[in-house]
Amino acid sequence: MITMRKNAVWVFAVVVAAMLETTWIEHVRLLDVVPNLTLLMISYFAIANGEERAMWTGAIGGVFQDVASNAVLGHNVLCNVVVGYAAARVASRMITVHPAAKAALVFSASIAHGLVYVGVAYVQDPTTAAFNGIIARVVPAAFYTALFTPIMFFALDRAFKRKREWTLKKGTA
């Protein structure tokens, strides 16, 4: 029963984040970039729950992103799932207690997401200005998304009642 409730809260949180990203987030646009709330959710669940939850978060959020944008259906899903898997693999090998480590993971995941997204867009349409898209959109969006990391992770920790799992025990280095 607890697992079912926790899964329902997870799906609700992902859907709300994706809906906010496709509607309300335009109000916090800065220099023509917006934070990627779905990517923040993917990164959070990559740290908290591992590959499977991060990939499912990417799939659910990606469907909302694809429907709301002019992208081909599956474009964001592919990017989110690949980045979710990679972020979870990286997060499993690093100490993610410090907020700077979380922000660095989000920044790296955002850059990777942007590179995959631009790469797929370039394969679909070679006339796309791929390099300009990376410089003008991907890098600033990665910084902006990373700025939202402490706020979003704090809210998600509260929502999922997650406590710090990593503590230094006596006798370990």
Q: Domain-by-domain residue ranges, the chain?
A: 2-159
Cβ neighbourhood burial of 55 (10 Å; 0-12, 13-18, 19+):
buried
Per-residue pLDDT tens listing for the chain (173 residues) = 557 888 888 888 888 888 888 787 777 777 878 888 899 999 999 998 889 999 999 999 999 888 888 778 888 899 999 999 999 999 988 887 888 889 999 999 999 999 998 888 888 878 877 777 777 788 888 988 898 888 888 988 888 876 555 444 555 54
CA dihedral for 130, 132, 134, 138, sign (positive or negative): negative
Helix (H, G, I), strand (E, B) or coil at 131: helix
Tell me the residue type at 148: F
Q: Give the global pTM.
A: 0.84
DSSP label of 69 = S
CATH dotted code for 2-159: 1.10.1760.20
